[in-house]
Amino acid sequence: MVLDARSNDRGPFSSLLRRPAANQHLSLEGDFDSRFRLYAPSGYERDALYVFTPDLMALLIDETGDLDVELRDDRLIVYKPGGFDLTDPAVWQRFAHIRATVGAKTWDRTDLYADERAAPDLQFDAAGTVAPDGARLRGRMPRMVWGLIAGAVAFVTIFVGIFVIVIVNVANAFSS
């Protein structure tokens, strides 16, 4: 699951390098949607609501409101555009504080989580396991890729147009 902080976006564009597909966006209650966009794998909306309780959402707003946050496997990952100055002791203190508050609450919410799709017969013995469909978000095709595709289509169109003109002129030269 990914939380895209709205505060570090560039205008209307997300700061995420690989933005999840729009159909994976999940709206949550209260002030949370004005601070973050939550993305969860399709079919895992209920699971996201299990994890993102109001107390965890409040902690995320207070402690990581300017950071993007990702829950991947058993990790809580925070990042921001431009990265962090890892030589600054205040950055390390902030990481420790996020770990002690947000990390502890997130662990509390996910420690006993069991995805019934991963092991339906072993629901309570499968804590921490997730079915393959819930393991990763599907990404959107980056704008750069769309630009390359559009450029390739334009190039092929121009090339075919020139090729047709040359063939017509050659055919006219031989018929004259």
pLDDT at 175 over 90: no
Query: DSSP states of 8-75 as a string?
Result: GSBTTB-S-SSPBPGGGEE--STTHHHHEEEE--TT-HHHHHHHS-HHHHHHHHHHHTTSEEEEETTE
pLDDT at 168: 74
Which residues, 6+ apart, have CB-to-CB distance to 170 below 8 Å?
none
Residue 49 CA to residue 40 CA, distance in Å, equals 10
Q: Put the strands of the sheet holding 36-39 in their side by side order.
A: 25-26, 36-39, 2-5, 68-72, 75-79
* 17-61 pLDDT per residue, tens: 778 888 888 888 778 999 999 999 888 888 888 899 999 999 999
State whether 107 and 154 are in the same domain. no
* Angstrom distance (rounded) from CA 6 to CA 4: 6
Q: Model's pTM, two decimal places?
A: 0.67
Stronger pLDDT, 94 or 153, i.e. the higher one: 94
The answer to whether 76 and 106 have CB atoms below 8 angstroms apart is: yes
Are 130 and 72 in the same domain? yes
Q: Which of 154, 153, 137, 149 lies closest to 14, judged by CA? A: 137
pLDDT band at 120 (very low <50, low <70, confident <90, very high): low
Same domain, 58 and 88: yes
Tens-place pLDDT, residues 132-167? 555 556 555 455 555 665 666 666 677 667 877 878
Residues 150 and 114 in one domain: no
The verdict on 145 and 110 lying in the same domain is no
116 and 173 co-located in one domain? no
**Residue 121's pLDDT is what?**
54
Instruction: Specify whether 102 is located in the same domain as 131.
Output: yes
pLDDT score for 110: 83
CA distance linking residue 34 with residue 13, whole number of Å: 15
Percent residues over pLDDT 70 in the chain? 76
- Per the structure, how many domains does the chain have? 2
Residue 123 carries which DSSP code? T
- Please tell me the distance from the alpha carbon of residue 20 to that of residue 1, in angstroms, as a whole number: 10
| pLDDT for 130 | 63
**Do 57 and 119 share a domain, yes or no?**
yes
Domain that holds residue 169: 141-176
